[in-house]
Each structure stands twice: as C-alpha cells, then as structure tokens.
Amino acid sequence: MYIGLFDALPLLRDPMLLVVISLFSFLPVIFIFVFADQASAVQSLIGAIVLTFSFTGLFASQSVYFNKQWFRFQDMLVASKVSPASYAVGLSLSGLVVALPGVVVALVLLLLSGGSSPAGVVLLLATSFLLWIGLVFVGFAIGATTKNARRANSIPQVLSIALGFLPPVYYPLSRLPAIAQPIAMLIPTTHAAQLAKYYFGLISIPASEVVIGWAYLLGFAALMGFIASRRAHWVDP
C-alpha cells in the first residue's frame, strides 16, 4: 500500500493532472456522442472503461523504469525486506488509483443511460481487470528491460494507440471489413470490449465466442506474466 501511494503521490498532490490523465480515454467518447447515435455512445463508454484500465497497466512501465534507473528506489527495496511481489502489487495499485476517477465517471454515465444490471457491471469490471493484469505485466517487462528514458515514455504511448484507438473498442466490430475482423480479434482489448458489450446487452455473440474471449484473456495474462517474470529482474545479474 505504501509503495502504491508513493508512486501515485505526484498525481495525488496535483489533482488536475489526475483528472487530465483519467479522462484521456474519454476524448473519443465526446466525438462519438456528438456525431453518432445513443447506442454507439454507450458502447464508447464501455470502451473508455476498458481502455482506462489498459492505459494504467501499460504506463506502469514508466514507474518501473524511473524507479530502477533514475531514482534508484528499487535498489533501496532490494536492500530491504520488501519482496518483488510486494513491489509489483504496490506499483499496480498506484495505477488503479489513477484509473479510479475515469472509471467512476463512465460507470455513472452507463447507469444513467439505462439497460445495465449489477451483473453486467461486475462482469464489465472483471474483463477490464483481467486485461489490466496482463498489461501490467507488459508494462513491467518494458520498464525493466528498457535502458533509455525516451523509449520508456514512447513505447507505452505507441502501444496504447495500437491497443486502444485502432481496434474496435470504442466502435462495434461490425464496422470493420470482414477481412479485418479476424485480425482485430488477435488484439486483447478487442476481446475485453466484446465481452463487456455482450454482458451489457449491446451486442449478441455466440456462447463459443464468449468462452474463447475469457480463455484468450486468461491466456494473455498468463503469458505476459511468464514473460515479465523472465525479463523483469528484481536484481540485475
């Protein structure tokens, strides 16, 4: 808990930064709300929740890099009795603190739009949380292996565009050409968004695709966890 609060301290001391970062994923929602119908706007709100978790997971790489390479904070923890697991959980909690305002705003708007159920909200958060776990591992792997500050800042931004704004997260999968839909299903954010929209009753997908979606997210989180455990060394060799 203390590691998470320490990592989130700069944002907590400047609430305006917290608002700007949290609401970054809401920019497409505004345009969709203005130029599209209500159903598309509701889908975009679900996409905003999914991507808020995704972005905070990816940007854990910056905390890992700067704590290790610049501030040498990780060296202090290595010399203490803090375990690698405690450090990883602490940094992950700081990401949840950043994500909380945006997620709360999106959930309130979803509930006001009607058509939601407690089970749908829980399953939406469950799919987003599972995706977040996988991307936190990605962030740790990037931050622990990157030796350049520019790459530590730029790689998460490029990945956030590739995983968030290009796939059908804010918009329906049916908007893509048939030839591009299988490619979009290779991206984990697409599966999380599809499951969340399905549980809110916005789209209809076969039961087999629901099972595949959960299996994909679980496999993605497990694979990224394995890669992070191999690449994110607690003590440099």
- 161-180 pLDDT tens trace: 888 888 999 888 988 998 99
Read off the pLDDT of residues 96-118 as tens digits, 9 standing for 90 and up. 887 887 888 888 888 887 767 78
Q: Are 44 and 170 in contact (CB under 8 A)?
A: yes
- What pLDDT does 233 receive? 75
d(CA 78, CA 87): 10
Alpha-carbon dihedral 232, 139, 122, 206, rounded to 10 degrees? -100
When pLDDT is averaged across residues 71-98 and rounded to a whole number, the result is 83
At 33 the three-state DSSP class reads: helix
Q: Please report which confidence band the pLDDT of residue 237 belongs to, taking 50, 70 and 90 as the band edges.
A: low
pTM of the model: 0.87
Q: Please report which confidence band the pLDDT of residue 207 belongs to, taking 50, 70 and 90 as the band edges.
A: very high
Is residue 93 scored above 90 in pLDDT? no
Q: Please report which confidence band the pLDDT of residue 191 belongs to, taking 50, 70 and 90 as the band edges.
A: very high
Dihedral over Cα of 99, 104, 105, 107: its sign:
positive
Structure token pair of residue 226: 């394995």
Is residue 184 scored above 70 in pLDDT? yes
Is residue 218 scored above 90 in pLDDT? yes
Q: What is the mean pLDDT of the chain?
A: 85
Structure token pair of residue 63: 């905390």
When pLDDT is averaged across residues 27-54 and rounded to a whole number, the result is 81
Q: Which of 152, 146, 145 is nearest to 232 (CA)?
A: 145
Is residue 131 scored above 90 in pLDDT? yes
